Amino acid sequence: MLRTCAIFVLCLIPHLAVADPSGRIRVIDGDTWDVGGERVRLFAIDAPEADQTCQTPEGAVWRCGQWVSQQVKARYDGRQARCTTIDTDRYGRAVARCTVGGRDVGRALVSDGLAFAYRKYAMDYDLDEKAAVVNDRGLHGSRFQSPAQFRAARRSAVQPSRQDCPIKGNVSSKGVKIYHLPGQEHYDKTRINTAKGERWFCSEAEARQAGWRRSRR
């Protein structure tokens, strides 16, 4: 009986794992999607942040992060994806390998220069990135800072003090940028995490210009 129960329990273990997301895609940015309503971070790739800029060979600055998001949306938004969960990140997102039309999305994005192989976590797309570099595909035709370096630089930047710049720029779990004014309902319990791109603002005009909207309460 004990042996039978042990086998029964072991048989149930796979069902306790996080379900593999599948369904309609809503693109958040180059490497973060909602798939069937579940937030997914694409495995082993790293795309530019939405506010990241690059430089052309002539030195002109352009919004490469925004461009990547637009390209990825044009390709995949509204389509159906099947994903296999590899891990869960610290934000509670499923880290997953996804396919669309039977093709590995991570490989496609890295091959076309819209994202980079995230070698810190896996070497799956190392050769795909090297081929993109040799052929100047996508971002590799520009001068750029890696997304990881960009995030680190942003985290280390000097933040304004609360006294001088008291408006809290929060990023919701759905990626919506919302700012809270002192005295509003959620102001006191809102915490700013600069690692997520959250920040303090000195004025409402500054917050709106940066792409944040005012909290409704």
Residue pLDDT tens, the chain, 217 long: 444 444 333 343 343 345 899 999 999 999 999 999 999 999 999 999 988 999 998 888 899 999 999 999 999 999 999 999 999 998 899 999 999 999 999 999 999 999 999 999 999 999 999 999 999 999 999 999 899 988 887 776 555 556 678 999 999 888 899 999 988 988 888 888 877 788 888 989 889 988 999 998 8
In b/e form, how buried is each residue of 176-195, taking b as 16+ CB within 10 angstroms?
Answer: ebbbbeeebeebeebeeeee
Q: What pLDDT is stored for residue 93 in this prediction? A: 94
82 forms bridges with which residues in the sheet?
22, 99
Q: Token pair 């795909």 is at which residue?
A: 128
Q: The tokens of 141 are what? A: 């035709």
